[in-house]
Amino acid sequence: MENRMVLIIEDEKELAQILGDYLEVEGFFSELAYDGESGLRMFLDKKPDMVILDIMLPKMDGIEVCKRIREVSDVPILILSAKNGEMDKVISLGIGADDYVTKPFGASELIARVKAHIRRYTAKQEKQDPAKKETLCIGNLKLKKDCYEASFGEQSLDLTTKEFEVLYFFASHPGQVFSKEQIYEQIWGSNEYGDLSSVAVYIKRLRRKLEQFEADYIKTVWGVGYKFVA
């Protein structure tokens, strides 16, 4: 993780500076922005390897910043929020955020999550070799791993990066049952500090998007986890 840069967009200046100090002790570079507009400009200019993003920001809120970043990049985004509402978490994950942490939080937990996300993102970048393009076809479902494109028959399936990764993981292991812990570790890279409720959120979203094609691929195995049935 040498020379990795984390952009912190947080209007509480003291908190942002403390986070930056902790990250630099761990060997990361950090850049700080204190409102949404300057944070987005800094993202486009600096091209960081990860973003820590507060929801409540002046000039442009964190939800809009996240949407704008996702239009051009798939870098890990960790949302910070003073709210503890399930809806905020669902919205954040739904627009493409990779993780969600509620204030107050422990610095060691946050650093562990940052390391896990950057480790996974780095590994994904290293594997993006044009010679290793993979297209998975199951019935009318087609998943193109190299460009994160999904379609059902002739119709495009609009998925976020994480939704695609969850669906591709399931489709790559038809019939195999996975627990929430196994799914979280595979997609997010670690479950030591992970919020396993994210798994259920993403599966619910995938099921809703597949319903339009009457495709009921992801089955719940009660008391165990989930499996993909073609």
Q: 94 pLDDT band (50/70/90 cuts)?
A: confident
- Give this prediction's pTM: 0.61
The predicted pLDDT at position 103 comes to 83
Mean pLDDT of 161-178: 89
Q: Under a CB-based contact definition with an 8 Å cutoff, are residues 107 and 18 in contact? A: yes
The predicted pLDDT at position 132 comes to 45
Q: CA 47, CA 131: separation in Å to the nearest integer?
A: 26
Strand order across the 135-138 sheet: 135-138, 141-144, 149-152, 155-157
The predicted pLDDT at position 124 comes to 75
Which tens digits make up the pLDDT trace of 196-205?
A: 788 889 999 9
For 174, what's the count of Cα atoms within 13 Å in the CB-facing half-sphere?
9
Which tens digits make up the pLDDT trace of 127-150?
A: 654 444 578 888 888 998 888 889
Q: How many helices (H) and strands (E) does the chain have?
A: 8, 11
Q: CA 19, CA 10: separation in Å to the nearest integer?
A: 10
Helix (H/G/I), strand (E/B), else coil: 27: coil
Q: CA 14, CA 32: separation in Å to the nearest integer?
A: 11
Q: What percent of the chain has pLDDT over 70?
A: 90
